[in-house]
Amino acid sequence: MAVVRLEVADGVGTIRLDRPKVNAFNAELTAQLREVALEASRRADIRAVVIYGGERAFAAGADIKEMAAKDYAGISVWVSELSTTFETVARLPMPVFAAVTGYALGGGLELALCADFRILADNAKLGVPEILLGVIPGAGGTQRLPRLVGPARAKELVFSGRQVGAEEALAIGLADAVVPAAEVYAEALRRARQYVDGPALALAAAKRAIDDGLETGLSEALRLETGLFVGLFGTEDQKNGMESFQQNGPGKATFTGH
């Protein structure tokens, strides 16, 4: 049974989580999410991605029943698979939006942190409550969260395990927009479609430069940026963009994604 689907329309791929009732992560959902993300990364007809868990919940964390039964060796494999899946999502070479309704807790929030932007419903509740189970976030929560909201705020959320509402998430930089729950998916699609006709290779290079650059020292990051910049001079979009600028002014180029 498919608990993750890839739906493509008008250049946007929607990665739809669909494991009742609240998209809890088990081995099946994790494996299917990785397969779908890999497919999205390879498809030329996908220029942006929206991750959506449906109207009820984005993802309410791990399947605790499955996780609690694991021994040391079993949980090592389980969390390694989850982390690899989330890294696959984070490495998608196009703009990625998380459309969050209801709960995004534990692994659900860790998945949302893999997106470039988070659009929250006004009923959203976010948190990393693992400390309340006697453990810590294990699939990116202690690493991606402080890079987004700063170490002190991240520590408070991780240490307490408390949930934050949509408005607080927006105030601390955990969300990029808050909209009524009925509009969250449409708003994420609207924002994603802004990039569909853009220069796909340049967008991928920009994403890599920012994400990888944050993981290195400034000198190495600047070299990465320069290499990616130079590499784009072998693309059709660079030629089209610069010719259009000279002939018609800025912002009027037609890009092919090549």
Cα–Cα distance between 10 and 150 in angstroms, integer? 36
Q: Which of 96, 93, 94, 124 is nearest to 108 (CA)?
A: 124
Whether 7 sits among the annotated catalytic residues: the reply is no
Q: Is 62 a catalytic residue?
A: yes
Catalytic choice (24, 40, 130, 204):
130
- Answer for the pair 189, 165: CB distance below 8 angstroms, yes or no: no
- Which residue do the tokens 């250049």 mark? 11
Active site residue 134: no
Query: Rounded to the nearest 5 degrees, what angle is found at the Cα of 6, between the Cα atoms of 187 and 201?
Result: 75
Q: Which two tokens stand for residue 104?
A: 């995004």
Cβ–Cβ under 8 Å, residues 21 and 56:
yes
Catalytic residue (one of 48, 90, 110, 187): 110
* Identity of the amino acid at 254: T
Catalytic residue (choose from 37, 48, 59, 62): 62
| Planar angle of CA 149, 151, 157, nearest 5 degrees | 75
Q: Which listed residue (13, 54, 106, 107) is catalytic?
A: 107
110 is catalytic: yes
Which residues are part of the catalytic machinery?
A: 62, 107, 110, 130
